Amino acid sequence: MAGVPDRGGDEAPMTTSLLTDHYELTMLQAALASGAADRPCIFEVFARRLPSGRRYGVLAGTERLLEAIADFRFSDADLAALERGRVVDGPTRRWLANYRFRGDIWGYGEGECYLPGSPVLNVEGSFAEAVLLETVVLSILNHDSAVAAAASRMTSAANGRPCLEMGSRRTHEAAAVAAARAAYLAGFAGTSNLAAGARYGVPTMGTAAHAFTLVYDDEEAAFAAQIGALGTGTTLLVDTFDIARGVEAAIKAGGIGLGAVRLDSGDLLEQAHAVRRQLDELGATETKIVVTSDLDEFAIAALAAAPVDSYGVGTSLVTGSGAATAGMVYKLVAKQNPNGQWQSVAKRSNGKVGVGGRKWAGRRHDENGIAIEELLSVGTSPGPRADIRELQHPLVSGGEIVGRQVSVGRQVSVGRPNSVGQEEPVEHEALRIARARHASSLAQLPPAAHQLSRGDPVIPTRYDAIGPVS
């Protein structure tokens, strides 16, 4: 077995090319040697099933993926590391030196809801150039979509009350930024992660930890210091010692115009009612109550009758609330024969039976605009229909990114010119569009989509073979 690539201390900037599995390059080397590397192929990204109990999925990470594909090049340092590790031979290294993806990619718009079998991404190109993208595609989409699906369930359970992302301390530092972005896309109001704010324009917020209270001699001194620095609109953590005394000290320090108090332990339902009564008795009728402490969508739903104004969610959110991956796969579904005709291919063993052929996806709606079916046409596109909303849009054409910030029915492009003179969008604008798309897509699903009880996907997926693969 070949060794692990070692960049040898080279200080050249990392590309995204090594964010991949060794076996991608094993397949590449063998395909180059046999002549199969140039065979035109179509790969498809989809989830065979949703996590247990889920009614729909949420596609997230598309913009991050397009950025990663643009940077997917093998630098001299990358190639040297592969050679030192004996991962590739000389001919394969020379091929990789000139690699860039030159094919086409179609996909669902970021923020779109999806169902089992939904072809959220189609990657079309030679076998060699398309197979190399498998790992980076799945690592980004599986993580971000898992977080977004959990966030969507949580915001549904919150029923209009703001949810705040606070999970940075419960995951990898890079994953924390991606998770904050995915949560905001799916309806969260903000994040505690400053990098997500700087990079993607996600609104940031923060309160204080128990350590801040404990460093002072008493709560009164701690609260006075926080208000002195941040003003009365701040949120005071009142459960370090006795909650009733903490609330009294908070209002004494901040007055009846204090912004909010936070509860982070114990029986949140009972405490929220008690704190609301106390705040009202003290005249702080506008002071809000924020609750945290290992919340998930079920805990949020259980607090629906409590006088809670917002929820702070951490561990459960950044780990997908029990489903840390969306379960997406990257499968070859079509290949071109030597005569130029397309042939459907699919795995058919061990219970993992696929549906071959290039899929064209649309969501059929009833006369009220409510989705009733995910229609996947295998082969030729069915063309526009009044009752079907087309779900796939061009993202990459001939290797050039064309679909950043794809909006429903149109393409938006704002920002600065990139290296080839095309205009790139500002990332937070892309996130704003994805956030709006998710809200629209979720609103079009039947009411059962918001149920937390176990059940089947909210709408069925139907395959309709209408012609040869094209």
Q: CA 304, 110, 329, 385 torsion: positive or negative? A: positive
Instruction: Inform me whether the pLDDT recorded for 207 exceeds 50.
Output: yes
pLDDT at 140: 98
Find the radius of gyration of the CA atoms of the chain.
25
pLDDT of 379 strictly over 90: no
Strands (E), 16-120: 40-47, 57-58, 104-108, 113-114
Higher-pLDDT residue of 172, 2: 172
What is the pLDDT, as a whole number, of residue 362?
Answer: 94
Q: Which of 29-43, 48-62, 383-397 has the lowest mean pLDDT?
A: 383-397
DSSP tag of 425: P
Predicted confidence (pLDDT) at residue 11 exceeds the cutoff of 50: no
Q: What is the pLDDT of residues 82-135, one digit of tens each?
A: 999 999 999 999 999 999 999 999 999 999 999 999 999 999 999 999 999 999
C-alpha to C-alpha distances, 312 to 136, 291, 300, 316, nearest whole angstrom: 30, 6, 10, 11
Q: What is the mean pLDDT of residues 345-365?
A: 86
pLDDT of residue 4 exceeding 80, the answer is: no
pLDDT of residue 423: 43
| Distance, CA of 306 to CA of 327 (rounded, Å) | 35
What's the whole-number average pLDDT of the chain? 91
Residues in the chain: 470
The single residue listed with the structure tokens 């949703």 is 50
Please list the residues that pair with 290 across neighbouring strands: 262, 310
List Cα–Cα distances, 79 to 72, 75, 83, 207, in angstroms.
Answer: 13, 6, 6, 46
Q: What is the dihedral of CA 407, 412, 418, 421, to 10 degrees?
A: 130
Question: Does residue 407 have a pLDDT over 50?
Answer: no
Closest CA to 178 of 194, 166, 196, 165: 196
> For the segment 248-301, what is each residue's pLDDT rounded down to a tens digit?
999 999 999 999 999 999 999 999 999 999 999 999 999 999 999 999 999 999
pLDDT for res 469? 46
Q: Which residues pair with 311 in a beta bridge?
A: 163, 291
The predicted structure's pLDDT at residue 414: 33
Residue 403's pLDDT is: 81
The string over 317-326, giving b where at least 16 C-beta atoms fall within 10 Å of a residue's C-beta and e elsewhere, is bbbbbebeeb
* Pair 372, 359: CB distance under 8 Å: no
Residue 424 has pLDDT above 50, yes or no: no
Strand order in the sheet with 371-378: 388-390, 359-365, 371-378, 461-465
The per-residue pLDDT for 1 is: 42
Query: What was the pLDDT predicted at 427?
Result: 52
- CATH numbers and ranges of domains, the chain: 22-132+327-465 (3.20.140.10), 160-316 (3.20.20.70)
Q: Which residues contact 168 (CB under 8 A, 6 or more apart)?
A: 176, 180, 192, 193, 318
Q: Give residue 271's identity as a one-letter amino acid code.
A: Q
Asked if the model's pLDDT at residue 413 lies above 60, the reply is no
Least confident of 167-176, 365-374, 419-428: 419-428
Q: What's the rounded Cα separation, in Å, for the pair 32 and 176?
A: 38
Q: Model confidence over 98-109: pLDDT tens digits?
A: 999 999 999 999
Q: Residue 53's pLDDT band (boundaries 50, 70, 90)? A: confident
pLDDT at position 297 is: 98
What's the rounded mean pLDDT across residues 407-421? 37
Indicate if the pLDDT at residue 408 is higher than 50.
Answer: no
Q: Label residue 470 by pLDDT band (50, 70, 90).
A: very low
